[in-house]
Amino acid sequence: MRSQRVWDLVIPLKPLGLAKSRLAATAGDDLRPGLALAFAQDTVAAVLACAVVRGVCVVTDDPLAATELSALGARIVPDAPAAGLNAALAHGARAVRSERPGAAVAALNADLPALRPAELESVLGSAAEAERAFLADAAGIGTTLLTASGGVPLAPAFGGPSRARHRASGAREITLPGVDSVRRDVDTADDLRAAIALGVGPRTATAVTALRA
């Protein structure tokens, strides 16, 4: 029987006061940081429930997020480069591999509140067939997940139209059907509605109830 590959995930998270700025009209400055935290908590909890995930490293400078996400079982690494998303991801991958040389790593956004562990497992199973692989977001423009096998640099190129950049970088695109929850990032009010329709995790459901109230 072929043994299944295990993965270490790297999840970047901006300071909560700055995160999810495109939801400002929906949530307002009082509720938006809590919503961003709830997305991250539901994302991390689903990742940690995935059978092929060995560990989660969250790269963040936010003290509340650090406390809450480490309580779920994530390792927290400060955003020492302070040079944006891709620098944070490369830093997280280095932190993982400094403890586990040769680890297979996957970068995943923190804004996937509908994430299902079984769908993530399918995506990672498909990713194991390539040295580097990625999954496009629900809009088909960006990326929600990028993987690198052991010994292979992650070389993240997230931000805006990153699907084309990851494809051009030589990473293989994962084209699996039935993994909507892994593609469903939430940037806008429409995205949030779509995530709710898929079924969000418990912390996001509570935060959305506060929003509606």
Ligand X SMILES: Nc1nc2c(ncn2[C@@H]2O[C@H](COP(=O)(O)OP(=O)(O)OP(=O)(O)O)[C@@H](O)[C@H]2O)c(=O)[nH]1
Ligand Y SMILES: C=C(OP(=O)(O)O)C(=O)O
CB atoms within 10 A of CB 193: 12
Q: Total residues contacting ligand X (rule CB under 6 A)? A: 17
Minimum distance from residue 89 beta carbon to ligand Y (Å): 10
What mask, x for binding ligand Y by CB under 6 A, covers residues 153 to 172? Answer: -----xxx-x----------
For ligand Y, the closer of residues 71 and 83 by Cβ is 83
33 binds, among ligand X, ligand Y, none (CB under 5 to 8 A by kind): none
Choose, by CB under 6 A, the member of 14, 97, 163, 166 that binds ligand X.
14
* 8-state DSSP, 205: H
Member of 55, 92, 113, 142 binding ligand Y (CB under 6 A): 142
Residue 60 lies near ligand Y (rule: CB under 6 A): no
The verdict on 137 binding ligand Y (CB under 6 A) reads: yes
- Binding-site residue numbers are 143, 159, 162
126, 174 Cβ separation under 8 angstroms: yes
Does 185 engage in binding with ligand Y (CB under 6 A)? yes
For residue 201 the two structure tokens come to 């995790």
Dump strand ranges (E) for the chain.
7-12, 53-59, 75-77, 105-108, 132-136, 143-148, 172-173
Q: Which positions from 163 through 192 interact with ligand X, judged by CB under 6 A?
A: 187
Q: What is the DSSP letter of 6?
A: -
* Residue 204 binds which of ligand X, ligand Y, none (CB < 5-8 A, kind-dependent): none
Round to whole Å and give the CA distance between 192 and 213: 16
- SS3 of 156-201: CCCCCCHHHHHHHCCCEECCCCCCHHHHCCCCCHHHHHHHHHHCCC
What is the pattern of x (binds ligand X, CB under 6 A) and - over residues 93-132?
A: ----------------xxx---------------------
Is residue 26 classed as helix, strand or coil in its secondary structure? helix
Name the strands in the sheet holding 172-173, side by side, starting at the edge strand that comes first in the sequence: 75-77, 53-59, 7-12, 105-108, 143-148, 132-136, 172-173
Residues of this chain that bind ligand Y (CB under 6 A)? 137, 142-143, 158-160, 162, 185, 187
Chain residues in the site for ligand X (CB under 6 A): 12-14, 19-22, 59-60, 79, 84-85, 88, 109-111, 187
